[in-house]
């Protein structure tokens, strides 16, 4: 039986030394692929398909196997891949015969030394003879994960640099990977990665446990080449086109289209859980949520009803949520949410990350440990009542109110302590408005058909001001729910005019 001796062959510290050495020298990007490969159409690139029968480790009866991704189209910088086993560290040279290409002319043109763009890890979720893809590393520092019952959607990233700033974002790359070969009966697999970019380098160790929830334990050490204005740690990237609280674009028949519907944050110091519904703004928006000691944050796909999407191809109700759990005390800082305008669902326009307090200066280093859970909305260990719906409309019409320039906002809460209450229970609401926002009224109602509680708010922002609101429910002087935090900028199509 295969008996790995990984510690003798390769360790995280080996990647750390590489990253440290690179950080002391000028940045040199990895040479790109030939122009014709970068210029392939989407269909041409997709026609270059890896042969699953040639997956790495397939011959050793390992439950974990590796499929390889060819460089081309979006992936213009090839990566180096190595295998770590009991015999040492072995580079994985590009092998054109691992791929099937339908077009004979294209097959001949694919260079024999093209290089790999990344890798896909597989695990037998659906039976011993099925290799289900569950984690993909490809493109810059992106990696995507799923659990047994979810389908690919949002992505995680190794790092975010100056995301959302007017100066423009920097995209460091994972340039080199080391795959530690697992024992046949192992419940986890380990991947090391080297990050390189103009402003920093980094060493990463990913220990991955696939299952009902797929957990990725991340260890990283970063080395700064340059001062960084906005460093984003443990970033998540997703898509929000429109949802229940936004207008449906003209011509769209589907009720909602999004990979995630909200940002969830846990402040471990105060105990507060905060839910922020996502928006597709008219112009780029960045919000900074101050946290004393971050327990975790994540982009969540809370709405799991097919009828709320009606898309048999995309199956948005199956898209995974991702929850980042901080290990140790990360100190004071902000969970940053960047929302970018998009005209369709093909753009990942949502980014969330942790930004530390204080300067990030050239010549410094930073250690980071955290885990990411991919799975259903239960990936976050949230004990309180949760927001299940947010509806927004004008506050000057029947059912909304009689206040010109105001909004009627309905927020539905369910679960946690609310599950033990009845329609006569003394549930009260607490609502505050941001600068220039007048909260005209708020009250709570029991919604019998749905067995949940509804917070109804009438609020009026000053002209050309962002409508910012926070609200939660209390029972017997105790907080019973997460805090709903909402930000509605002008130009969303929901703007009530005075």
The confidence score (pLDDT) of residue 79 equals 98
Partner residues linked to 410 by β-bridges: 391, 456
Mean confidence (pLDDT) of the chain: 94
Only one residue has tokens 């995309």, namely 314
Residue 492: pLDDT band with limits 50, 70, 90: low
CATH label, 386-488, candidates 2.60.40.10, 3.40.190.10, 3.30.450.20, 3.40.50.300: 2.60.40.10
Q: 55-68, pLDDT tens digit by residue?
A: 999 988 889 999 99
Write down the domain spans for the chain: 6-379, 386-488
| pLDDT above 70: residue 144 | yes
pLDDT computed for residue 59 by the predictor: 86
Whole-number Å distance between alpha carbons of 123 and 470 = 42
**pLDDT tens digits along 415-455:** 999 999 999 999 999 999 999 999 999 999 999 999 999 99
Percent of the chain with pLDDT over 70: 97
The predicted-structure confidence for 2-28, as pLDDT tens digits, reads as follows 444 444 579 999 999 999 999 999 999
Most distant CA atoms of the chain, gap in Å:
77
Write out pLDDT tens, residues 324-335.
Answer: 999 999 989 999
Q: Which is nearest to 171 in space by CA: 142, 136, 144, 135?
A: 142
Report the C-alpha gap between 352 and 294 in whole angstroms: 13
Of the candidates 292, 468, 298, 457, which has an alpha carbon nearest to the alpha carbon of residue 374? 298
Cα separation of 232 and 241, whole Å?
23
Of 116-130, 394-408, 484-498, the range with the highest mean pLDDT is 116-130
* pLDDT at residue 493 in the model: 64
Give 80-124 pLDDT, tens digit per residue. 999 999 889 999 999 999 999 989 999 999 999 999 999 999 999
Residue 88 backbone class (left: φ over 0; alpha: ψ -120 to 50; beta: rest): left
Using CA atoms, how far residue 483 sits from 152, 264, 346, 470, 472, in Å, is 29, 10, 31, 7, 5
Tokens 């990647």 map to which residue?
Answer: 15
pLDDT at 88: 92
pLDDT of 3 reads 45
| CATH 3.10.690.10 matches 6-379 | no
Q: Check if the beta carbon of residue 298 is closer than 8 Å to that of residue 234.
A: no
- SS3 of the chain: the string is CCCCCHHHHCCHHHHHHHHHHHHCCCCCCCCCCCHHHHCCCHHHHHCEEECHHHCECHHHCCCCEEEEEECECCECCCEEEEEEECCEEEECCCCHHHEEECCHHHHHHCCCCCCEEEEEEEECCCCCCCCEEEEEEECCCEEEECCCCCCCCCEEECEEECCCCCCCCECCEEEEEEEECCCCCCCCEEEEEEEECCCEEEEEEEEEECCCCEEEEEEEEEEECCCECCEEEEEEEECEEECCCCCCCCCCCCCCEECCCEEEEEECCCCCEEEEECCCCCCCEEEEEEECCEEEEEEECCCCCHHHCCCCCCCHHHCCEEEEEECCCCCCEEEEEEECCCCCCCCCCEEEEEEECCCECCCCEEEEEEEEEEECHHHCCCCCEEEEEEEEEECCCCCCCCCCCCEEEEEEEECHHHHHCCCCCCEEEEEEECCCEEEEEEEEEEECCCCEEEEEEEEEECCCCCEEEEEEEEECCEECECEEEEEECCCCCCCCCC
What are the structure tokens assigned to 457, written together?
């708010």
């Amino acid at each position: 039986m295969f008996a790995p001796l990984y510690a003798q062959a390769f360790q995280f510290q080996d990647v750390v030394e590489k990253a440290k050495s690179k950080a002391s020298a000028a940045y040199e990007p990895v040479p790109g692929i030939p122009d014709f490969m970068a210029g392939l159409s989407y269909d041409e690139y997709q026609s270059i398909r890896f042969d699953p029968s040639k997956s790495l480790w397939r011959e050793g009866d390992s439950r974990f196997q590796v499929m390889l991704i060819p460089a081309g189209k979006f992936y213009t910088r090839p990566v180096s891949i190595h295998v770590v086993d009991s015999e040492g560290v072995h580079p994985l040279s590009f092998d054109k015969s691992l791929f099937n290409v339908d077009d004979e002319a294209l097959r001949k043109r694919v260079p024999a030394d093209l290089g790999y763009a990344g890798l896909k890890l597989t695990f037998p979720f659906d039976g011993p003879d099925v290799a289900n893809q569950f984690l993909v590393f490809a493109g810059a520092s992106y990696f995507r994960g799923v659990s047994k019952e979810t389908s690919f959607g949002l992505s995680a990233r190794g790092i975010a640099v100056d995301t959302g700033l007017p100066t423009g974002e920097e995209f460091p790359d994972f340039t080199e990977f080391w795959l530690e070969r697992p024992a046949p009966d192992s419940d986890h697999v380990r991947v090391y990665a080297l990050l390189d970019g103009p402003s920093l380098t980094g060493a990463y160790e990913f220990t991955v446990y696939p299952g009902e929830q797929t957990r990725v334990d991340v260890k990283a050490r970063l080395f700064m080449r340059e001062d960084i204005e906005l460093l984003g740690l443990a970033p998540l990237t997703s898509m929000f086109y429109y949802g229940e609280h936004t207008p449906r674009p003209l011509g769209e028949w589907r009720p909602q289209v999004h990979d995630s519907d909200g940002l969830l944050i846990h402040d471990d110091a105060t105990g507060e859980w905060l839910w922020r519904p996502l928006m597709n703004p008219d112009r780029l928006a960045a919000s900074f949520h101050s946290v004393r000691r971050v327990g975790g944050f994540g982009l969540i796909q809370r709405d799991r009803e097919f009828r709320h999407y009606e898309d048999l191809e995309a199956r948005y109700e199956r898209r995974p949520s991702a929850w980042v759990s901080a290990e140790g005390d990360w100190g004071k800082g902000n969970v940053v949410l960047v929302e970018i305008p998009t005209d369709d669902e093909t753009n990942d326009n949502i980014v969330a990350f942790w930004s530390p307090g204080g300067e990030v200066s050239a010549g410094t280093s930073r250690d980071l440990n955290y885990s990411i859970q991919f799975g259903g909305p239960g990936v976050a260990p949230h004990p309180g009542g949760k927001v299940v719906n947010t509806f927004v409309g004008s506050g000057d019409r029947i059912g909304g109110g009689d206040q010109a320039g105001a909004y009627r906002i309905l927020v539905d809460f369910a679960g946690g302590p609310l599950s033990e209450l009845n329609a006569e229970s003394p549930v009260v609401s607490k609502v505050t408005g941001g600068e220039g926002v007048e909260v005209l009224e708020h009250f709570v109602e029991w919604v019998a058909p749905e067995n949940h509680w509804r917070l109804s708010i009438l609020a009026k922002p000053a002209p050309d001001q962002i409508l910012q609101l926070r609200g939660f429910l209390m029972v017997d002087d105790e907080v019973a729910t997460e805090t709903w935090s909402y930000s509605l900028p002008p130009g969303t199509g929901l703007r009530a005019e005075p």
